[in-house]
Structure 1
Amino acid sequence: METNNKRRNSSGKEKKIKRKQVLEKKKAINEIIKAACAVKDHLTAFPPFCQYDRNGLSVYLETGFGEHLSSLMKKYIQNLLKANMEGPYGSEWLTEEKVKRREMVAPEARYIFVRLSPNSSLDENPVNKNEKGPCTQWMGDGDRVVGFVHYRFIVEEDIPVIYVYELQLETCAQGKGLGKFLMQLIELIARKNRMGAVMLTVQKANVSAMHFYTNKLRYVISTISPSRVDPLIGAEKSYEILCKTFDGEAKAKLEENIYRRDQ
């Protein structure tokens, strides 16, 4: 009887210790997210990335917040999203557009806006001459906006991550290395703020975007993507979730799936 009581007491202590460890870890992760969100301008830590002057394109970057977007900026974002994403989403676009409008102005939404440098010239000819030229035009104050990144600091599988909701560039700003430059900046911001990974969602129909992320930037399909959670369900979904991890725990949970196999 005494032995059984000792075992129960030992088991109870182990559970308490484990619960405490779980709570402490959760608290630590929340503190990391809170600290990252408290930074007003993540660009200030990376002065060389505040401007881009290559391949005939001269632009500079500025920070923005979802809850502080002007009505003209909201309209611009909506127009650029429609121009770039209506095709890949197909029949799902009408529903998805409403979702994106809500996401766009959320308090946790962070932005990097791309503006043309003063007196810069921009080649308005599309990269692919068979494609249409830019479908959007900045109508607000200041230098012309030609693209943006919408990102957030969130938690996935108990890992703090930057999730890139949107990376959108006008046609005239594409094919000049700017997209890769912006994603490198996002990865630097992630590492600086102790994130375990950068994650994003790509439509399967957006073949060029999938190639860009997986081939050029070496992102991989995450364990939380539908196709890896359940291939049958994944086959019915129109998207994949991609990730690039920066430490062992993030790699194990978001890439290798060893935690789920052991469960």
Structure 2
Amino acid sequence: MTPLSPDEMARYARHIVLPEIGGTGQLRLRRAHAVVIGAGGIGSPVIQYLAAAGIGRLTLIDDDRVDASNLQRQTIFATTDIGTPKVAAAAAIVTRLNPHVAVDACAVRVDRDNVRGLIDGADVVIDGCDNFDTRLTVADAALAARVPLVSAAVGRFEGQLGVFRGWEPSRPCYRCFVGDAPSREGATCAEEGVIGPVTGILGSFAALEAIRQIAPFGEDSAGKLVLIDLLALRLRTLTLPKDPGCPACGTSPRDP
């Protein structure tokens, strides 16, 4: 593999001096492909931090356009971006931030017909979308492709983050966590509200965990769920069990 260039050595110096990352880890990041589902409040810091970290290729997927109501939390966008496809504006930021990163902007809505093609070749998928059906679709595709899934969600002053590699015998998949309900109705951020920094915190956590899946460091986070309550300034980490009867990854799956 081509060694890091002088510019890359300077750019990633604070990574390289970390024993847990080093030059080997930085090279892993450079050859990695990360797919980000949702370029919104969670996606904004994910995109920025993964681009800054030197992920070799980023695929950004979102079919929405920038709205004035996004700007309070989706910090990758500016007022001048209103009306622009989110992935186009985000891709421009990536290119300005780090010319070493290749970026694909996909202004499409994820569904069961296109999801496998969208995540093809990915080393990690980060899901920050705000639709439960889409989350299930992405989770099932990541499981089938054996791609680590980093899933983050927020609401009001709270957030949760999980890392899933359900094809492994001892690790749960996303459906082990949420069940196999075909849909789940709930209030949206537009209805309940969300304070902006919550999305930044969860997005930063998600970027960290995506990096961990590519260039492993510290404890393995797969199968753990982080719950953050910022009204109480409280953080909890739970270990999720694998469901033997899970219809997606279980050893004795139930009938759908």
Structure 1 length normalisation: TM-score?
0.27
Q: Which of the pair has the greater relative contact order for Cα pairs under 8 Å at 6+ separation?
A: 2
Larger Rg: 1
Structure with the higher fraction of residues in strand conformation: 1
Structure with the higher fraction of residues in helix conformation: 1
